[in-house]
Amino acid sequence: MTTAAAAHAVPRVRRTRRRVPWLDRIAYGTVVVLLALAVLGPLLTPHDPYSVDLAKALQAPSGEHLLGTDGLGRDVLSRALAGARASILGALMAVAGAALIGILVASIATIGGRWVDDIVMRFCDITLSLPVMVMALGVAVALGPSLRSAVIAMVVAWWPGFARIARAEMRTVITSPYVEAARVLGASRWRLMLRHVLPNSLDGVYVQATLEIGGATLIMAGLSFVGAGAQPPSAEWGAMVETGSRYLTSAWWISVVPGLLITITALAFALSGDSLRNRNHPDATLA
């Protein structure tokens, strides 16, 4: 039969996957390692990150202390590993919290009508006009310096950016014919939002969130560095850089190790976000 022959002649559709550039692969890999460190880091410490031994203070990297010791004789490697959790999870929580609030506010602005939209978005604009660091610093100090305050401060300073991105996307989606079709069917506002608008407008937010984790790590460390975040005895990268800064000329490793980790984390997340954004180009088919 001709139909059978025709069926054979049709070439099998192969799902084409774009090649992932090597830099992106490294970034993804690093992110995975960092996330693993954030979860497992505190369990992998060769020494107790908090045990003070002044006799061993300021030792250079050696067999026993692979990355040396700090001014109080604490093992720098152990502290760096233990600090991964506070630094990375802190940044993750800040971004996740900000994204969540941003999405919520954007949803309210989208279904609330013109007035609500105007008021909410102007408020976002005002908040966005202040530098994130200044804003976060103010809030963190006002709340009393601690790691938790730093996270809360960052959420407060960061959500308007997410709200703006989410709202822009939602406004496009809500006028699309499939949303109108649901309106003609008599769908409630809730259903329109949850079933149609939200699932189709969050790609940009996900990408932005990944991009921002890098920056969040930096701000997080910055807050701790100036004393508005994690407080002295606790192991946190920003705070470690600060403690080590006094010995920068004599014992560089105390600051350089956490400093490098902060840089790597920020870079890895930023590059991953960039890569995700490129792959998420509208032309690409969503899986």
Partner 1 sequence: MTHPTTGTPILEAQGLTRSFGSRRTTTRAVDDVSFSVAPGAILGIVGESGSGKSTTLRCVVGLERADAGRVLFDGVPLVGANRETQRRFRREVQMVFQDPYSSLNPRMTVEMIVGEGLDIHKMAESRQARRARVVEVLELVGLDATVLDRYPRSFSGGQRQRIAIARALAVGPRVLVCDEPVSALDVSVQAQVVNLLLEMQQQLGLAVVFVAHDLALVRHLCHDVMVMQRGVVVENGPCADVFDRPQHEYTKSLLAAIPIPDPDRDRARRAAAAAERRSA
Question: Does residue number 191 form part of the binding site for partner 1 (CB under 8 A)?
Answer: yes
Q: Which of residues 84-113 bind partner 1 (CB under 8 A)?
A: none
Minimum separation from the CB atom of position 192 to partner 1 (A): 11
Q: Which of residues 130-159 bind partner 1 (CB under 8 A)?
A: none
Helices (H), 144-252: 147-174, 177-184, 189-191, 198-201, 203-225, 237-245
Minimum CB distance to partner 1 smaller for 30 or for 200: 200
Minimum CB distance to partner 1 smaller for 6 or for 55: 6
Report the distance separating Cα 172 and Cα 207, nearest Å. Answer: 18
Contact region with partner 1 (CB under 8 A), list: 123-131, 136-144, 194-202, 269-277: 194-202
Minimum separation from the CB atom of position 126 to partner 1 (A): 27
Question: Does residue number 196 form part of the binding site for partner 1 (CB under 8 A)?
Answer: yes
- Tell me which residue of 244, 200, 229, 110 sits closest to 164, measured CA to CA: 110
Minimum CB distance to partner 1 smaller for 51 or for 172: 172
Q: Which residues pair with 75 in a beta bridge?
A: 69
Minimum separation from the CB atom of position 10 to partner 1 (A): 15
User: Could you tell me how many residues of this chain bind partner 1 (CB under 8 A)?
Assistant: 19
| CA distance from start to end of the chain | 36
Minimum separation from the CB atom of position 195 to partner 1 (A): 8
Binds partner 1 by CB under 8 A, chosen from 4, 9, 10, 185:
185
Minimum CB distance to partner 1 smaller for 54 or for 286: 286
Question: Does residue number 48 form part of the binding site for partner 1 (CB under 8 A)?
Answer: no
Running DSSP on this structure, what letter comes out for residue 146? S
Report the distance separating Cα 158 and Cα 170, nearest Å. Answer: 19
Question: What token pair was written down for 261?
Answer: 């980790």
Minimum CB distance to partner 1 smaller for 13 or for 54: 13
Q: By CB neighbour count within 10 A (0-12 exposed, 13-18 middle, 19+ buried), where does 238 fall?
A: buried
Question: What token pair was written down for 168?
Answer: 């822009």
Q: Which amino acid is at 126?
A: I
- Tell me which residue of 178, 180, 207, 216 sits closest to 273, measured CA to CA: 207
Q: Which of residues 228-287 bind partner 1 (CB under 8 A)?
A: 285-286
Helix axis angle, 132-143 to 147-174, nearest 10°: 130
Cβ neighbours for 23, distance < 8 A, ≥ 6 positions apart: 271, 275
Minimum separation from the CB atom of position 182 to partner 1 (A): 7
Minimum separation from the CB atom of position 210 to partner 1 (A): 20
State the Cα angle at 212 between 79 and 275, rounded to 5°.
105
- Tell me which residue of 227, 206, 216, 226 sits closest to 273, measured CA to CA: 206
Binds partner 1 by CB under 8 A, chosen from 29, 199, 232, 233:
199
Question: Does residue number 9 form part of the binding site for partner 1 (CB under 8 A)?
Answer: no
Minimum CB distance to partner 1 smaller for 122 or for 195: 195
CA–centroid distance for 237 within its chain = 16
The site string for partner 1 over 165-184 (x = CB under 8 A, - otherwise) reads: -----------xxx-xxxxx
Minimum CB distance to partner 1 smaller for 46 or for 199: 199
Q: Enumerate binding residues for partner 1 (CB under 8 A).
A: 176-178, 180-188, 191, 195-196, 199-200, 285-286
